[in-house]
Chain A
Amino acid sequence: MHQTDEMFSALLDGELAVDEIDTLLQSLDARPDAGVMTSHWSRIGSSMRGQCTPGVGHDILSGVRAALVDEPRHATAVSPTPVSARAASRRMRRRWFSAGAGVAAAASLAMAVVLVPELRNATTPPGTAAAETVASGAVDAPEAVAATDGPAVRSADGTGNPVQVGAAERSAARDDRLNTYFIEYAGHRTVQGIGGPLGYARYAAHNADMRSTRP
């Protein structure tokens, strides 16, 4: 039994440490039966699992070596991408894909928030109470637009006299609130480390709760 045999066992399980690779490479000459040994260990595992593949106990390393003895060594012209960079690249692609999917879902939710009240106003007769939406209630509007029967009123002209607000103006006000919503959400998301449509909805619901608890 050689000192490096335990490393071959770890290699088989994919548990070899990176700083042990050089030691194992150097020991291959001293262990010409390494292929037979590891193939036997693989056979132990497959037998334990009830897998009956007789060929698993075969060592093919010696045959591979013999076939490749005259092959030229590989030599990459450009230094290969480091392991960590390739793995990071794959993680980044997965992250962007999931972020993109989250943004798409959040955008769909926002569109629904904007369009549903629009459609409702288009179908409801004038004078019907226009309920505050979650989106419009989540952010402090620059000027409160009360939901009342009839046209919305606003007492913001400085005179104290009520000023009637039309549908177009209400729509513009909602757009303003939604834009502000996105901006604040983006900032909140960065700070809190939340993302995706769930985070967006959670943020919206949280602010709606805060609004409802205000005196």
Chain B
Amino acid sequence: MSEELLDEELVRRAQAGTPRAFDLLVLRHQAKVIQLVSRFVGDGDAPDVAQEAFIKAYRALPNFKGDSAFYTWLYRIAINTAKNQLVSRKRRPLAQDIDVQDAELYGHTEQMSDNTTPEAELLTAEIQTAVSEAIANLPPDLRQAITLRELEGLSYEEIAEAMDCPIGTVRSRIFRARAVVDEVLAPLIDRPSQRSL
């Protein structure tokens, strides 16, 4: 099932009275929404603004007719929520309107806010080093699968073709790679002193 069709099915179920289906949509898109709004409001406020965006999206869900992809509609809500946050903080409004597609294309280096603290930068560098080492230490088949997925953006079907293995095997390898790397990553992210970052 394509990503768009999966989202549409989850939206349909949420609209039909299954709120847990919206939970799955949150799980799917929370990282991208946080990353998107962080370009407006900074890393510190990004999770709160993202949370607010999802709440607004849930309340507006009956009005979503499917004329656009769900993530496009969600990202538009997230950008508007972030802009409102900026205005409410009496910051200078953005000089130009940012299209959803343009916002996605902005690299992580093009931060519109400069709230990154030295501690956050240090943690980020630490995490990136730990992840790189963990990936390098993975068995070759797991490393190849997760690399093709995360860096090349290939679908499971494309990865299966590239690695000459069933799609189910690809899915299993990507999951196991994530599980192994998370054993290294989780202690860094969940350190009590870093939880506010």
B47 lies within 8 A of A64 (CB): no
Given contacts A47-B127, A48-B135, whether A68 and B19 have CB atoms under 8 Å apart is: yes
Shortest C-beta distance, B141 to chain A (Å), equals: 16
Total A residues in contact with B, Cβ cutoff 8 Å: 63
CB contacts (< 8 Å) of B54 on chain A: these are 60, 64
For residue A145, CB closer than 8 A to chain B, the reply is no
For residue A95, CB closer than 8 A to chain B, the reply is no
Instruction: Give per-residue flags for A44-56: 1 if the beta carbon is below 8 A from chain B beta carbons, else 0.
Output: 1111111111111
Given contacts A16-B6, A17-B1, A47-B127, whether A9 and B34 have CB atoms under 8 Å apart is: no
For residue B172, CB closer than 8 A to chain A, the reply is yes
Q: Considering the complex, which residues of chain A in the window 31-51 have a beta carbon less than 8 Å from any beta carbon of chain B?
A: 34-51
B31 lies within 8 A of A42 (CB): yes
Interface size range on B against A: 35 or more
Q: Considering the complex, which residues of chain B in the window 166-197 have a beta carbon less than 8 Å from any beta carbon of chain A?
A: 171-172, 174-175, 178-179, 181-182, 185-186, 189-190, 197
Shortest C-beta distance, B92 to chain A (Å), equals: 22
Given contacts A60-B51, A76-B15, whether A53 and B38 have CB atoms under 8 Å apart is: yes
CB contacts (< 8 Å) of A193 on chain B: these are none
Q: CA A5 – CA B176 in complex, angstroms?
A: 10
A58 lies within 8 A of B47 (CB): yes
With beta carbons under 8 angstroms apart, the residue of A45, A54, A67 that contacts B150 is A45
CB contacts (< 8 Å) of B27 on chain A: these are 8, 11-12, 34-35, 38, 61
B35 lies within 8 A of A56 (CB): yes
- A and B contact pairs by CB, cutoff 8 A, 13 listed: A6-B175, A15-B171, A40-B189, A43-B189, A47-B131, A50-B128, A51-B108, A58-B30, A64-B23, A64-B51, A64-B55, A80-B15, A83-B9
Chain A residues close to B by CB (< 8 Å): 1, 5-6, 8-18, 21, 24-25, 28, 34-61, 63-65, 67-68, 71, 73-76, 79-83, 86-87
Ranked nearest first, the 5 interchain pairs of A and B with the lowest CB-CB distance are A14-B3, A42-B31, A9-B175, A55-B46, A47-B131
Chain B residues close to A by CB (< 8 Å): 1-10, 12-21, 23-24, 26-28, 30-32, 34-35, 38, 43-44, 46-47, 50-51, 54-55, 58-59, 61-62, 66, 108, 120-121, 123-125, 127-128, 131-132, 135, 146-147, 149-151, 155-156, 171-172, 174-175, 178-179, 181-182, 185-186, 189-190, 197
9 additional A-B pairs beyond A9-B171, A43-B31, beta carbons within 8 Å, are A11-B28, A15-B155, A43-B189, A44-B178, A48-B150, A58-B46, A73-B17, A74-B61, A75-B17
